[in-house]
Structure 1
Amino acid sequence: MTLKTCSRADGHVRAFPLARTLPLLGALTLLPLTSQAADQATGEDAAGQTASYETTEQAPRSEYLSDWYNQNVTIIGSKNIRFGPQQVDDIYLEYEFFGRKGPWDLYGYIDLPKFFGTGNGADSGIFDNGSPLFAELEPRLSLNKASDMDLSLGPIKEWYLAVDYIFDWGHNSNNRQSTLYAGIGTDIDTHTPVGLSFNFYKRYQGDNYGAANEDQWDGYRAQAKYFLPLATFGNGAKLDYVGFTNYDFGSDLGDRDASRTNESVVATNVLLYSFTHLRFMAVARYFHNGGQWNDDAELNFGDGPFHVRSTGWGYYLGVGWQF
């Protein structure tokens, strides 16, 4: 429910180190969103699976889990998602991965929108001439590890070259998005159980559903990600909080189109309840001018005028299997 940070017109959730959206029903891979939500005390649930694990190079987490590469498949249900001019409800399927290997910090997901054929009137997807695929990739390269040097500075313990690429494979150019964010990333030492990272990107906008800022550098993104372990239970489950906020600014899209804005904010809050494989999540996401749509602007797509509702809350529920 990363998962996962995105500006797609019909809406996506993603994850910490992350979707298409629909009726508050199901699921969201969206966040194992954080590779930091891994190693805690070991417990067992009624099925005998460990909820978390102590890992070494010689002893991976389990026979079926890599010691660094995390994957999951999740059914996601979403409601009131505000990345486009009309709110979207969706139930979709997501594959998500994340992990840390050497200097590489990896996160990404692939969504199959409206995979279960359920959504509101503004929703379309893989089987009804909508987008067959929506993906986001967020690799970061550690400059500390790559240079084998201690580059820490004050509370900044690690520096990265950071990229965030978002792709919506719409059925034509007016239904397609291709956005590249490139910049610098950091991990922050909070001296508390809170995990914190910050990325700052410049944005190159390729396809953007026919918007006026296509094929040019247009604006910036400041991104904060945060993680807090909340509890470990006797049944072997653990409860974590994962959050991230994206602030897009410095665009000139709103100067060219009164229905759009030059800035937007999306703040995502996730409660993740997980065992070794089975996981459940609940997500509340706040949008301010989601997708750079001007809240309360009046539009007409041929079915009569309506007002954009791009500011407010959207929600996701998810159930998934990690392996």
Structure 2
Amino acid sequence: MTSTSFFRTGVTLSDLTRYWPAAALLACSTINASAALANDTATGQDAANETASYETTENAPRSEYLSSWLNQNVTVIGSKNIRFGPQQIDDIYLEYEFAGRKGPWDLYGYIDFPKFFGIGNDADSGIFDNGSPVFAEFEPRLSINEVLDKDLSVGPFKEWYLAADYIFDWGHNSDNRQNTLYAGVGTDVETGTPLGLSVNLYKRYQWENYGAANENQWDGYRAQVKYFLPLATFGNGAKLDYVGFTNFDFGSDLGDKAGATRTNEATVATNVLLYSFTHLRFMAVARYFHNGGQWNDDATLDFGDGPFHVRSTGWGYYFGVGWQF
């Protein structure tokens, strides 16, 4: 498809070149959600076999963490071949992340600072080179069981939630900004094994979406499955955990409105190995995209430098080093 036919989506060429990096950051959001699930299990010693806890005294005892219920970390993340835009993104960025349970509230969120270290490929931009300064996501869930003080379990579905997922990309104008709300219900599933499993089903309201054709309307659904499996505990105090999650977006009208370059469905499946001490942690991630970002794989685009094929289906990778507190 030529650039002329692509412009039917309502997105200009300059808009597209600016929102590639933001789309890449959306990919990272699912990684961070999965890694946060493992924070509760991360206790022990650092790599030098010395306790990584804060210093305590008999008169002023302190936990190794700043909060008794909110897990927090700062992580440097490098990404490669991320497929949420028409061109693949490589980036290194800084992230603050939190997760925890307080009363009926199950909370998760993060704030990213794109291209914080000035390292990325040609399609990447961020906080210091006229890209988005902040990309954030917040995923609160409210326990219906606890609010009503009732056992609402049905078979293996033990706890039920009102669930939301809000994503915001602070671009410098509306054509460089994302503002998305997923709202629905969720549940925790008892598997009878060490495998932890939760499921959320959302309906999506799309405000700004980098100028795409589905702005300011309800547009589609997301089915989300998250899973966590402890793998090993080591003599040095470290733990190895597997964290995974799959997002399946469906029922959108974007492909119908925008033409052959976009799709109505997209799937992203993420696999995380998390090796963690009390504070220090390392993660390695392999993520499979199918029409990532609702871009139609193998569609032809031309941004003025000649036609190229979209590669929105395939594998992307992330590596991170972080500090939990």
TM-score (norm. length: structure 1): 0.87
Distance across 2 between alignment mates of 1:122 and 1:222: 30
Contact 1:14–1:31 (8 Å) recurs in 2:
no
Between the aligned partners of 2:262 and 2:44, the Cα distance in structure 1 is: 49
Aligned partner of 2:294 in structure 1 is 292
Residue 24 of structure 1 corresponds to none
Determine if contact 1:29/1:319 at 8 Å carries over to the other structure: no
Q: Which amino acid aligns with 2:83?
A: R
The whole-number CA distance in structure 2 between the counterparts of 1:151 and 1:284 is 36
Task: Name 2:233's counterpart in structure 1.
Answer: 232
Cα distance in 2, alignment partners of residues 208 and 180 from structure 1: 11
Secondary structure of the equivalent of 1:32? helix
Please tell me whether the aligned partners of residues 106 and 139 of structure 1 are also in contact (alpha carbons under 8 angstroms). Answer: yes
The equivalent residue for 1:25 is none
Q: Unpaired segments of 5 or more residues in structure 1?
A: 1-6, 19-27, 52-59
Corresponding residue SS for 1:119 = coil
Q: Deviations over 1:180-203 (max 9, x none)?
A: 000000000001000000000000
Contact 1:43/1:234, CA 8 A, preserved across alignment = no
Equivalent residues of 1:110, 1:133 under 8 A apart: yes
Deviation (angstroms), 1:13: 4.2
Please list, as runs of the form range in 1=range in 2, the aligned pairs for 1:159-308 lying within 5 A after superposition.
159-257=160-258, 258-308=260-310
Aligned length, in residue pairs: 298
Contact 2:106 2:143 in 1 (8 A): yes
Q: CA deviation at 1:38?
A: 1.9
In structure 1, how many angstroms separate the alpha carbons of the residues matched to 2:169 and 2:42? 36
- How far residue 301 of structure 1 moved from its aligned partner, in angstroms, is 1.9
**Cα RMSD after superposing both structures:** 2.1
Q: Runs of at least 4 residues of structure 1 off by over 3 A?
A: 11-15, 28-32, 39-47
The alignment-based identity, stated in percent, is 76
| CA shift in 2, pair 1:123/1:45, >3 Å | closer
Residue 32 (structure 1) aligned to one of 16, 19, 35 = 35
Unaligned runs of at least 5 residues, structure 2: 1-20, 54-60
SS in 1 for 2:79: strand
Deviation at 1:48, TM superposition (A): 2.7
1:317 is the counterpart of 2:319: yes
Displacement of 1:315 in angstroms is 0.1
1:127-184: CA deviation from partner (whole Å, max 9, x where unpaired): 0011111010000000011111111111000000000001111122221111100000
CA-to-aligned-CA distance 1:212-257 (integer Å, 9 cap, x gap): 0000000000000000000000000000000000000000110112
Is the 2:65–2:71 contact (alpha carbons within 8 Å) kept by the matching residues of 1? no
Q: 1:30 & 1:103 partners in 2: Cα distance?
A: 19
Q: Which amino acid aligns with 2:204?
A: R
Q: CA contact under 8 A between 1:112 and 1:134: conserved in structure 2?
A: yes
- What pairs up with 1:53-68 in 2 under 5 angstroms? 62-68=63-69
Q: Secondary structure at the match of 2:194?
A: coil
The residue aligned with 1:121 is 122
- Amino acid across the alignment from 2:324: Q
For 1:98-117, what aligned pairs fall within 5 Å after superposition?
A: 98-117=99-118
How far 1:295 sits from its partner (Å)? 0.4
TM-superposition CA deviations, 1:271-317 (whole Å, max 9, x none): 00000000000000000000000001111222222111000000000
Give, as a single letter, the amino acid of the residue that structure 2 aligns with 1:263: E
State whether residues 33 and 108 of structure 2, in contact with CA within 8 Å, keep that contact through their aligned partners in structure 1.
no
The reply on whether 1:10 has 2:24 as its aligned counterpart is yes
CA distance in 2, matches of 1:216, 1:168: 18
Task: State the 1:30 CA deviation.
Answer: 5.8
Task: For 1:45 and 1:8, locate their aligned partners in 2 and report how far apart those are by CA, in whole Å.
Answer: 34
The answer to whether the Cα contact below 8 Å between 2:177 and 2:208 also exists between their aligned partners in 1 is: yes
Give TM-score scaled by structure 2 length. Answer: 0.87
